[in-house]
Each structure stands twice: as structure tokens, then as C-alpha cells.
Structure 1
Amino acid sequence: MARPRRIVLIRHGESQGNADDTIYERVPDHALLLTAAGERQAQEAGVRLRELFGGERVQAFVSPYRRTHETFHLLGLDPRLTRAKEEPRLREQDWGNYQDAEDVQRQRTARDAYGHFFYRFAQGESGADVYDRVGAFLETLYRAFDNADFPPNVLMVTHGLTMRLFCMRWFHWTVDEFECLSNPGNGETRILLLGPDGKYRLDQPFDRWRTAESDLSRYHG
């Protein structure tokens, strides 16, 4: 089994939706573009990632959204060393077709009170749904590790919530632990590093907005 030395998660650069909530009324979520600031964030992240990867090969998995495709291309990775595949299971949480800004704000408030993992947007997904499809993707990824020629680096160009749920699934965090975490900023990365003991560890934690309360939180593997 060829386990990669690094699994890099990166959130797309700032999108039109990050800058203007009302655009969801006119443009499908998957079709939103990067802003000029988002393009700069992706380019700056590319400088860091090219230095990190050096001359090593990379297997990239990219969410099918426009903003993640744009982010990936602006990273400027060497195409001779990089294999890229679109991966729909790494897409954003589905909020359901065109959106009314006032209704979305109402649902966001309700989600904050109900819980981000369990709250289901009308006509959309809950965090638990995203967790399940991320788990299905992990099964595919584990099978890919069986290839003796698998690259030493994995890159996932995805979304903030999906990044948190990927790590929740990988590290077996509880729901309560997940609820404590904030999304990374646009263009930010989290890296799973393979240690000498064969276990992966995060290079840096997610920011926390509260402390976990569950008695199970201290038993995570």
C-alpha cells in the first residue's frame, strides 16, 4: 500500500457568493466565479503548494463547482507532475436551487440554534448528508492507496464545511467536536501529515468558537 505523505485540503478562493449573498437569487451556487480577491488568494496558495510539493507527484481531486475549478487552475501546479480528477462527492453542501436571501438568513439562524451537523436546508442537505458522501469518497481513496505507484501527495480542492467534515470522518471526531470548529478562510489549507508511527496528524487545528461539551470527546481515536 502506497500511503501518501501528505493529504492537503484547500478551500476555494473568495467567490461571488462570499462577497454578495444576494447573488444566489440569480446565479446557481455551482456556477459562481471567484472574485478578484479570490483569484489572488488562489495564486498565493499556489506559491505555497508548489514549494511544499517540490518535484513530487500530486493526485488532485477537485469539487465540480466553477470556483473550485478556477482555484485549482490558478494554483499553477506542474501538469507533468499532477493528475487531476473532478470529484462530485467533494462538492459544497447543497442549499437547494436558487435561493431567497431573506429565507437563507432565516435558515442560517435556525441552523445556528439547531446544530450545523443535523440541520437540513429546505430542498437541500444537512451536514450529516455531506459527512456520508465524504465517507463514500474516503472508501474510494483508500482503495487507490493499494496502487504501489500512488503519488506521495493528495490535494483536495473543496469547500470549508466539506474540509471540516472530511477531517471529522478521518479522525473520528464526535458531532460535538465538529460543532465547535469554524471554517478555514478562503484559500486556506489544512494538511494531514503522515508520521513515523503510520498515523496522520493535522498541521494546524481549525479555529474553535466554543469548547466541546460531550463526555465522548476525550475518547476520539
Structure 2
Amino acid sequence: MRIILLRHGQSLGNVDELAYCRIPDHALPLTELGEQQAVAAGDTIRELVGEGPVAAYVSPYRRTRRTFELLGIPAERIVTEPRVREQDWGNLQDPVQQEVLKHQRHAFGHFFFRLPNGESGADVDDRVAAFLDRLEARMHQDETHPRTVLVVSHGLTIRLLCRRLFDWSIELFESLSNVDTCENRVLDHDGTRWRLDRPFAQWRDSPDGAVQLP
């Protein structure tokens, strides 16, 4: 089994933080560069998928759905999957409060800090776990389900999905950086355990000494 994780292309929110104050997070579009990134990523994803069928699980946000559309991947199954959406920061955000919350979240820790009217990283971790459990059940119960899965999601969500699959410590998770826009990670199961094709960028050593790759 192979899971290909892909972050969406550059979005308006990536270049203009005030966009969150006037446009709901789920409705933020890709920038022109983001659309170009998605088209370019199509060749890479097709190579990773190979000749076999693929099932695509796509966050319902506008930027992820558009990224998947521009990839041009002929997926056998396409599922809009809310459990792999972005961390919920609440609705239209106040710019002053937004800046305060970012500093508080960084000081408190991205995993446990709960955003007012939104989620903590732990909440995202729980729904990602539910997604993985359901995906595993589908693949065991339905022999026609493709063995290659593409997940088009978001930076934090992708890190937490890997944290779940590899049983990474929270300290290690908080030491990692998000993948760049339209960057991927590939997870392969060798019949015994999952393997990650390459590590995430790490901005500090994990305080507990944990590492990404065995």
C-alpha cells in the first residue's frame, strides 16, 4: 500500500494573512503561482502513482480541490474528505487577535493550544486517526479499493497524519516544519510497517531525542 501526501498549491492566505479577515478559510483560492505549482506537480504525482489505479481523498477546501483538479490525475475514486481539512481557526478572523493567537500558540505548543472557536492540534490528530482507521477498514473490506492513495491536504494535517502512522512523539511533531506548497511525502507499507520516503525539515532537535526515521 502506498499513500502519497500532497499539500495544496500556494493560496491567497499564504501571501496575504489579512485575507482570512474577509474570506472564510475554506473559500481561499489558489494564487496564480499556486495554480502553476499544481499543474507542475501533476507530472510528479503521476510518476509516483505509476500504472495502477489510485483513490484520491481531498480536503473540501477550495484550494485543495482546485489543486487536485489541476493535477490531472485520473483517479478511480475521488472522495471529498472533511477529516483531512485544515486546522479550524474559527470564522472570519480579527487581524489583531490573529497575531496574538499566533504568538500564544507558538509559546504554548501547536499540539495542545486550542484556538477560540476553533481546534487544537490534538483535535486534528483525532480526526486524522479516524480517517486512517476508516481507510484501513475500506481497504480490508473492499478488494477493489486501489492500493495507492493520494491525499490532498494541508501542512499541519499532513504532519499529524505522519505522527499517527509512525507513532511520533508530540515533542518531535512540534519540532518539524510543514512541507512547502505542492510538496509531497510518500508513505509505503512493506508488509510489516510504514516507511517515509524522506524526512520533514526540522527546525530544532526534538527535546525527547525522538527522530523521524529509524
Which TM-score tier does this pair reach, normalised by the shorter chain?
A: over 0.9
Aligned with 1:28 (options 11, 24, 28): 24
Task: Trace 1:58-77 onto structure 2 (pairs within 5 A).
Answer: 58-77=54-73
Task: Trace 1:197-216 onto structure 2 (pairs within 5 A).
Answer: 197-214=191-208
Q: Is 2:135 the counterpart of 1:141? A: yes
CA distance in 2 between partners of 1:115 and 1:209 (Å): 14
Task: Trace 1:178-217 onto structure 2 (pairs within 5 A).
Answer: 178-195=173-190, 197-214=191-208, 217=210
Residue 52 of structure 1: aligned partner: 48
Aligned with 1:105 (options 75, 89, 99): 99
Structure 2 counterpart of 1:145, which letter? M
CA distance in 2 between partners of 1:99 and 1:82 (Å): 38
CA distance in 1 between partners of 2:19 and 2:206 (Å): 35
Deviation track 1:71-107 (CA, whole Å, cap 9, x = no partner) reads 00000012xx531000000010000000012211111
The offset of 1:204, in angstroms, is 0.8
Q: Is 2:86 the counterpart of 1:92? A: yes
TM-score (norm 1): 0.92
Q: Is 2:162 the counterpart of 1:167? A: yes
The offset of 1:178, in angstroms, is 0.5
SS of 2:162's equivalent in the other structure is helix
Deviation track 1:88-139 (CA, whole Å, cap 9, x = no partner) reads 0001000000001221111111111110101111111000000001111111
Structure 1 counterpart of 2:162, which letter? C
CA distance in 1 between partners of 2:166 and 2:49 (Å): 24
CA contact (8 A) 2:68 2:152 kept: yes
CA distance in 2 between partners of 1:48 and 1:87 (Å): 23
| Bigger shift: residues 159-168 or 81-90 | 81-90
SS of 2:186's equivalent in the other structure is strand
Over aligned residue pairs, what C-alpha RMSD do you find?
Answer: 1.5
CA distance in 1 between partners of 2:20 and 2:200 (Å): 27
CA contact (8 A) 2:110 2:174 kept: yes
Runs (5+) with no aligned partner, structure 2: none
TM-score (norm 2): 0.95
